[in-house]
Amino acid sequence: MTDSQATHPLMIALDFQTKEAVQAFLAQFPDPAHLTVKIGMELFDRYGPAIVKEIQARGCAIFLDLKLFDIPNTVERALTQLGELGVQYVTVHTLGGSAMLQAAQRGLVAGAKRAHVAVPHLLGVTELTSISPVGLRDEQNCRLTMTEQVVALAKLAQQSDCDGVITSALELPALVAAVGPEFEYVVPGIRLASDAAGDQQRVATPQTARQAGATAIVVGRPINQSKTPVSAYAQYQTAWNA
pLDDT in tens, the chain (242 residues): 333 345 789 999 999 999 999 999 999 999 999 999 999 999 999 999 999 999 999 999 999 999 999 999 999 999 999 999 999 999 999 999 999 999 999 999 999 999 999 999 999 999 887 888 999 999 999 999 999 999 999 999 999 999 999 988 888 999 999 999 999 999 988 988 776 545 444 568 999 999 999 999 999 999 999 999 999 999 999 999 98
d(CA 79, CA 107): 5
Catalytic residue (choose from 67, 113, 155, 227): 67
Global confidence as pTM: 0.91
Residue 72 annotated as lining a ligand binding site: yes
**According to the model, what pLDDT value does residue 168 have?**
85
d(CA 124, CA 96): 10
Residue 106 annotated as lining a ligand binding site: no
Residue 192 annotated as lining a ligand binding site: no
Structural domain of 10:
3-241
**According to the model, what pLDDT value does residue 44 have?**
97
**According to the model, what pLDDT value does residue 127 have?**
87
**According to the model, what pLDDT value does residue 202 have?**
54
67 included as an active-site residue: yes
Query: Which CATH number goes with the domain that contains 49?
Result: 3.20.20.70
Residue 3 annotated as lining a ligand binding site: no
**According to the model, what pLDDT value does residue 4 have?**
38
Radius of gyration of the chain (CA): 17
**According to the model, what pLDDT value does residue 70 have?**
98
Residue 144 annotated as lining a ligand binding site: no
d(CA 100, CA 160): 9
**According to the model, what pLDDT value does residue 153 have?**
96
**According to the model, what pLDDT value does residue 204 have?**
86
Number of structural domains found in the chain: 1
Residue 7 annotated as lining a ligand binding site: no
